[in-house]
């Protein structure tokens, strides 16, 4: 629950008049403290024992009679997609088919599927040993991108400049694999210089219902989520996203990421986040309220297409991302300009009408720092630790 997109969804739905119950395995998420949440419940984390997670949801839905169950994280979306038949008799679930969800989470399978459907991707190879890595290194140009086969938020992604850095990246992998992250089968990918652009989408069983494009002005970490974005109108990216998601018979929200080559402008597919995205505040501010649209579509069976939104609107997330951005880049003056003296058509998630989530963010972090006092902990590094879960789910 400790992430941007969940808080955005709670605020949007609450403002639209929905009665919102927030469920998580802990009460420390920012969303729990939003004034727009009607109630809060604890449920087991789905990791490890999906049975307890599904049973707890069934009992809660049967007791309270909810109309829609809306997952916001990778893990909950995966589990609900996998076990939808256990719950769809009780509440509407805007989640993708199980096979589509699994395919999009696996970056190698997604790359192969995209190529089969006429969408270009950077040249991508899966490596299972140092010998294969050495062979591949002899036939490819540097720099290259090294990343986990499953992952999110740029975790484990590195730009490597030579064989030594490539081997170091491979040897430093945790060697663990699970539903959201898989470090056991890393990928080596062609480096394409350019900027990241995204298509934010809502689909109803293979048919598009809402599409919005945006570009990342700033990211954290370097290969991670957007922390300062701008809405755009890019028909070619929308066309590619529709081709891909229609072929998957997609249902529910998704964000399709592309890399646009800095010289040719050609788009290359990077990945698909098969759930709500961390920068969803920008979509809502631009007039496309994806949480509300998703709930209405799930509840009513369908909604009219919505393709109009404000282009050129910028959105920033000053806290804590300005601190983390400076930590990574050292650009103090740039951070002041981008986060404190932004472009005129810029919004932020700082809400005077709903300030408690930000206050609690300070309180949680202060408590963590206090608990580790006397252990030579860098306070800024502690911020990074606090934000790890958020970055994982962006």
Structure tokens, 140: 């490819």
CA dihedral over 337, 339, 340, 342, signed as positive or negative: positive
pLDDT at 394 (0 to 100): 60
Rounded-to-integer distance, Cα 75 and Cα 82, Å: 11
What residue has token string 């484990």?
Answer: 156
Q: Which CATH class is domain 4-96?
A: alpha beta
pLDDT at 284 (0 to 100): 98
pLDDT in tens, 51-90: 899 999 999 999 999 999 999 999 999 999 999 999 989 9
Closest by CA to 92, choosing from 205, 207, 246, 208, is 205
pLDDT at 231 (0 to 100): 98
Domain boundaries, given as residue ranges, for the chain = 4-96, 123-190
325, 331 contact by CB (below 8 A): yes
Rounded-to-integer distance, Cα 186 and Cα 157, Å: 10
pLDDT at 387 (0 to 100): 42
Which residues in the chain land under pLDDT 70? Answer: 1-2, 48, 175-176, 365, 368-394
Cβ burial, residue 333 (10 Å; 0-12/13-18/19+): exposed
Fold entry, domain 123-190: Dna Ligase; domain 1 (3.30.1490)
pLDDT in tens, 149-160: 998 888 889 999
How many alpha carbons lie under 13 Å from residue 68 in its C-beta half-sphere? 21
3-class SS string, 90-156: CCECCCCCHHHHHHHHCHHHHHHHHHHCCCCCCCEEECCCHHHHHHHHHHCCCCEEEECCECCCCCC
pLDDT at 368 (0 to 100): 64
């Amino acid at each position: 629950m400790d992430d941007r997109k969940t808080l955005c969804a709670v605020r949007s739905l609450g403002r639209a008049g929905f009665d919102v119950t927030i469920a998580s395995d802990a009460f420390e998420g920012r969303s729990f403290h939003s004034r727009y949440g009607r109630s809060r419940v604890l449920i087991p984390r789905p990791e490890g024992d999906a049975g307890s997670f599904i049973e707890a949801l069934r009992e809660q839905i049967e007791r309270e009679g909810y109309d829609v169950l809306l997952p916001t994280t990778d893990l909950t979306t995966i589990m609900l997609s996998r076990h939808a038949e256990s719950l769809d008799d009780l509440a509407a679930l805007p989640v993708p088919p199980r096979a589509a969800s699994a395919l999009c989470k696996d970056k190698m399978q997604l790359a192969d599927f995209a190529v089969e459907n006429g969408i270009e991707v950077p040249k991508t190879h899966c490596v299972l040993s140092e010998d294969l890595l050495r062979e591949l290194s002899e036939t490819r140009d540097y720099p290259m991108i090294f990343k986990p086969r499953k992952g999110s938020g740029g975790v484990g992604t590195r730009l490597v400049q030579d064989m030594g850095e490539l081997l170091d990246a491979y040897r430093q992998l945790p060697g663990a694999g699970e539903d959201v992250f898989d470090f056991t089968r890393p990928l080596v990918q062609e480096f394409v210089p350019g900027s990241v652009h995204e298509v934010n989408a809502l689909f109803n069983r293979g048919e598009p219902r809402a599409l919005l494009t945006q570009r990342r002005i700033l990211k954290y970490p370097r290969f991670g989520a957007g922390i300062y974005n701008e809405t755009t109108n890019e028909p070619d990216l929308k066309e590619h996203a529709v081709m891909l998601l229609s072929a998957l018979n997609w249902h529910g929200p998704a964000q399709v990421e592309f890399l646009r080559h800095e010289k040719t402008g050609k788009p290359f597919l990077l990945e698909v986040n098969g759930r709500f995205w961390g920068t969803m505040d920008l979509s809502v501010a631009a007039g496309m309220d994806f949480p509300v649209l998703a709930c209405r579509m799930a509840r009513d069976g369908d909604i009219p297409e919505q393709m109009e939104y404000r282009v050129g609107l910028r959105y920033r997330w000053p806290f804590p991302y300005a601190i983390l951005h400076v930590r990574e880049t050292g650009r103090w003056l740039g951070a002041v300009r981008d986060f404190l003296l932004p472009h005129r058509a810029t919004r932020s998630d700082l809400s005077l009408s709903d300030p408690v989530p930000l206050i609690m963010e300070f309180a949680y972090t202060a408590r963590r720092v206090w608990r580790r006092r006397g252990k030579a902990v860098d306070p800024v590094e502690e911020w990074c630790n606090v934000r790890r879960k958020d970055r994982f789910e962006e």
